[in-house]
Amino acid sequence: MTLETAHFVEPPGGRTLVKMESVFRSVADRDGMLQSGMEGGMNEGFARLSELLKKMQDK
């Protein structure tokens, strides 16, 4: 089980900063999630979301 928290902050400049935090029950749970490739998948997903938002803003 994991507790996921997302914090949305609006710094100056009209952008939004999203800070994600994952809290695991144990170090073993955390390590298992990292070994599963989750980190790479999350990074790829956020990169794709960033590209989509940029395209939408340019319209």
- Return the HEC string of the chain: CEEEEEEEECCCCCCCEEEEEEEECCHHHHHHHHHCCHHHHHHHHHHHHHHHHHHHHHC
Q: Where are the domains of the chain?
A: 1-34
Per-residue confidence (pLDDT) for residue 14, from 0 to 100: 84
pLDDT by position in tens, the chain (length 59):
899 999 999 999 988 899 999 999 999 999 998 899 888 998 999 999 999 988 998 87
